[in-house]
Structure 1
């Protein structure tokens, strides 16, 4: 019987393949070059955000502020260039803002010991409010001539492959290397698996937690730059959307346990394929926004319940790092 057991990755990939096949056969307009390009662009941004969330969840946390990191620093780049600043200076300013944002998140969680859910919820609202009140002149920051050429980050192709997908692939390689080939990655898994044991063995738990949130913020900013380059603007009110729930869906459905210490890049890729295809199909079927939220809510609830059975929390898990 063991030969026929399937893990969560294999089940989710099978569901994705079946869903893609059904949509291709029965959903008019799904398997067209234009829609496949749209699907790939959406999947790339969602997948990059999923990588950021995965790093935090593996370390037994959660980052609700990712969408603020996606919207505000890249929006600041577009706004500064529009106001006459050079692109390199604008990018440097956005990166510094992102690092500062990640440091604040990490300090609140690691040193002030504020639960990650509440800390990142508050900081995300703060950053989004700062952008709307002080940084941006309009809710949608438009492209400007100073950004010419940068749109290739989201709209170009290399050997026929959309650059947005290549950016996702590069992000996957970098995150996989960080998690599997570096000491920092081993520390993140150790902290996620058992924070008390990690601390006893001499792992610098608090600095590593700060590092997690800085890296997550930087990846979120990178996803925002890809998104802005794809649509030649930055809709800053995307912070008010349900995108963060799609990111959590990607992580949980992909098989990264919310109890920490489990999962990797492959889980994110598989979860991204399924959720991206599902969202694209619902859009083509013209399912209302409320209907899509209902479906996503049911799927997320089922995913969380399944995760609770596959990755049950033990006594140590219940004491530390609850999200």
Structure 2
């Protein structure tokens, strides 16, 4: 009898928030797939599941910081594929791969800074600024930096292959990298001035500006950080596949990132969300994609399912976190 009220309180907490609802849905999907699909719950498939969504989760970390600060970055994939592809092209001209990767990272950083400056000083809505910037970055890359869509990792760099293909104590390095980046992002958002200023400018930009938050510098920092995170994700992806494919720019990856963000419970209006929301959204999307893959669901149908789920999640987010007057005037989304 004493456990009944406690169970009800737990159920009320789980179903009383978007985060709790997503957790219940993820757990339900896991149980259903585990019972219905013979190979789903095997250790090998579960490790493969987590490993396959690690890159998506890393990209979602960069997006989460931007969204919490009341922005959005749909140029991430363009920055990722162009910077990594160009680094490999440079390496094949005779530069050591390590130096080429530094140059590629510098390109990603500069791209992020320029995007942030355009938004901070030009007052361009982030959705439009990053959409245009993504097209420009990709166009510049394909015109001046590389012509082939597929860029292979230069041979003779076994240390680079270790990142995406090796394991430490049985755990894939990609999963470890995702965990480390989650820990760093959590620390930055919860224990530093950068973190509380990010939440402040996302919750109420006018108040944040009045209290002395350097709004323009913070916006630039957010997009620079997002670009660097995208570059790191691209390196891990390229290490896993021994190549980077520029066609990813035209894929649904950016929508998958937004799906992770919104499903996890990070409000698109800014100022709300934690890194655990990114982890939760990544796990849920991973379970969903893995289950549909095992069921051999056609790619087109998978995109349809993801699109419907994303739309429902955005509608739910708009109901839970209604747009305020400041957001409507700013036109950020």
* Structure 2 equivalent of residue 209 of structure 1: 219
- Is the Cα contact below 8 Å between 2:81 and 2:246 reproduced in 1? yes
Name the stretch that deviates more: 266-275 or 1-10.
1-10
Shift of 1:131: 1.9
Distance 2:39 2:135 in 1: 38
Distance 1:206 1:321 in 2: 17
Shift of 1:187: 0.8
* Structure 1 equivalent of residue 261 of structure 2: 251
Shift of 1:321: 5.1
Shift of 1:34: 4.6
* Structure 2 equivalent of residue 97 of structure 1: 107
Distance 2:185 2:292 in 1: 30
- Is the Cα contact below 8 Å between 1:256 and 1:264 reproduced in 2? yes
Distance 2:238 2:31 in 1: 31
Q: 1:276 aligned to 2:286?
A: yes
**Could you say what secondary structure the match of 1:141 adopts?**
strand
- Is the Cα contact below 8 Å between 2:80 and 2:108 reproduced in 1? no
Map of 1:29-48 to 2, 5 A cutoff? 29-48=39-58
Shift of 1:237: 1.0
Q: 1:15 aligned to 2:25?
A: yes
RMSD: 1.5
**Could you say what secondary structure the match of 2:244 adopts?**
strand
Residues 38 and 189 of structure 1, relative CA distance in 2, 3 Å threshold: same
Shift of 1:77: 2.1
Shift of 1:192: 0.4
Q: 1:162 aligned to 2:162?
A: no
Distance 1:19 1:83 in 2: 48
Q: 1:310 aligned to 2:320?
A: yes
Q: How many residues align?
A: 323
* Structure 2 equivalent of residue 70 of structure 1: 80
Name the stretch that deviates more: 156-165 or 75-84.
75-84
Name the stretch that deviates more: 143-152 or 156-165.
143-152
Structure 1, unmatched stretches of 5+, are: none
**Could you say what secondary structure the match of 1:72 adopts?**
helix
* Structure 2 equivalent of residue 183 of structure 1: 193
Q: Return the match for 2:184 from 170, 174, 182.
A: 174
Name the stretch that deviates more: 17-26 or 163-172.
17-26
**Could you say what secondary structure the match of 1:234 adopts?**
strand
Q: For residues 232-277 of structure 1, give each alpha carbon's deviation from its aligned partner in whole angstroms, at most 9, with x where no partner exists.
A: 1101111100000000000001000011100010000000000111
Name the stretch that deviates more: 289-298 or 115-124.
289-298
Q: 1:291 aligned to 2:293?
A: no
Q: 1:116 aligned to 2:107?
A: no
Shift of 1:148: 2.0
Q: 1:231 aligned to 2:249?
A: no
Q: For residues 67-87 of structure 1, give each alpha carbon's deviation from its aligned partner in whole angstroms, at most 9, with x where no partner exists.
A: 112211122222222232102
Q: So what's the TM-score if we normalise by structure 2?
A: 0.93
Q: Return the match for 2:141 from 131, 147, 161.
A: 131
Shift of 1:33: 4.8
* Structure 1 equivalent of residue 62 of structure 2: 52
Distance 1:17 1:88 in 2: 42
- Is the Cα contact below 8 Å between 1:58 and 1:257 reproduced in 2? yes
* Structure 1 equivalent of residue 154 of structure 2: 144
Residues 74 and 37 of structure 1, relative CA distance in 2, 3 Å threshold: farther
**Could you say what secondary structure the match of 2:151 adopts?**
strand
Q: So what's the TM-score if we normalise by structure 1?
A: 0.96
Distance 1:41 1:70 in 2: 19
Shift of 1:313: 1.9
Name the stretch that deviates more: 19-28 or 171-180.
19-28
Name the stretch that deviates more: 72-81 or 49-58.
72-81
Residues 231 and 213 of structure 1, relative CA distance in 2, 3 Å threshold: same
